[in-house]
Structure 1
Amino acid sequence: MKKLFWFVIAGGSGFAVDAGVTLLLIAYTPAGPFIARIFAIATAMLFTWLVNRHVTFGKSDRRVSHEGFLYAFVGIIAALINYGIYALLLLRNPDLQPFIALFLSSLSAMAFSYFGYSRFVFRRREGGR
């Protein structure tokens, strides 16, 4: 339960990073909501890896480069799920605010992320390396 609690905290903080970067890029750059979201997801993914590695799950018994690769792999799949739902919501509902689409799409990817990170990335292997 403690890991799930911290995962939600990391995810909530990552969501704030994602939303903040998305909305700032939309407001202050020529990037539209689709391009802005790509940069925001990458920034949030780096942030959540650091939080999950140091607080939520702890370091795995893998090399940091291998752990980072696995985290990115799971994160990219989750990001594709997240971005796909975000784009679908905005395309099907042109009047929908990007923040609402961002919130709903982020929730949808959360269960996949927790399973992938806890079972695949930060899982401790028996017998060490």
Structure 2
Amino acid sequence: MAKLLRFGIVGSVGFLVDAGILALLLGFTPLGPFISRAIAIALAMMATWYLNRRFTFGASRHSIVREGFRYGSVGLTSALVNYLVYSALLILFPTLQPLAALVVSSTAAMAFSFFGYSRFVFRR
């Protein structure tokens, strides 16, 4: 349970990094929302990788390059799970509020990513 709590804290920090970088890029560069978002996601993923490696799970037995690739793979797949669950909920239940779908899809993605990171990336 302690790992899940630490994972949630790291995820919150990742969200703040993501939102902060996005806001800075949108406010101070001509990059636009799509390129800015890609950069923000990449930097947030690097931040959560570092924090999860140090604070939540510890380093894996793999090289840092292999661990980073695995982390990115789980992170991208988790984002896809989040979006697909969100979309499916809104299509299947048209009266469902988008924020409710966001909560459910984010919870599903968090469970998926915790399992993926703990079993596939940081397994010892």
Fold agreement, TM-score > 0.5: yes
Map 1:69-88 onto structure 2 (within 5 A). 69-81=69-81, 84=83
Residue of structure 1 in register with 2:93 after alignment: none
Which position in structure 2 is the counterpart of 1:10? 10
Scaled by the length of structure 1, the TM-score of the pair is: 0.71
Distance 2:123 2:24 in 1: 35
Matches within 5 A, 1:50-89: 50-81=50-81, 84=83
Match of 2:95 in 1: none
Deviation at 1:43, TM superposition (A): 0.1
1:33 corresponding residue in structure 2: 33
Write the deviation string for residues 50-107 of structure 1: whole angstroms up to 9, x where unpaired: 000111001112222221121111122224455x57xx7xxxxxxxxxxxx9xx4893
Deviation at 1:111, TM superposition (A): 2.5
Q: Which runs of 5+ in 2 are unaligned?
A: 88-98
* Paired residue type of 1:53: R
Large movers: runs of 4+ above 6 Å: none
* Normalised TM-score (structure 2): 0.74
Supply the AA of the counterpart residue of 1:27. Answer: G
| Counterpart position of 1:43 | 43
In structure 2, give the amino acid aligned to 1:54.
R
- Once residues 4 and 111 of structure 1 are traced to their aligned partners in structure 2, the CA distance between those partners, rounded to angstroms, is 9
Equivalent pairs counted in the alignment come to: 108
Q: Identity of counterpart residues, as a percentage?
A: 56
Cα offset, 1:9, TM superposition: 0.8
The equivalent residue for 1:110 is 110
> Could you list the runs of 5+ residues in structure 1 that have no partner in the other structure?
89-100, 125-129
- Residues 111 and 33 of structure 1, relative CA distance in 2, 3 Å threshold: farther
Deviation at 1:11, TM superposition (A): 0.5
Q: CA RMSD in A?
A: 2.4
Corresponding residue of 1:19: 19
Pair 24,80 (structure 1): closer, same or farther in 2 beyond 3 Å: farther
- Write out aligned runs for 1:94-105 (5 A): 104=102
Alpha-carbon distance in 1 for matches of 2:24, 2:70: 29
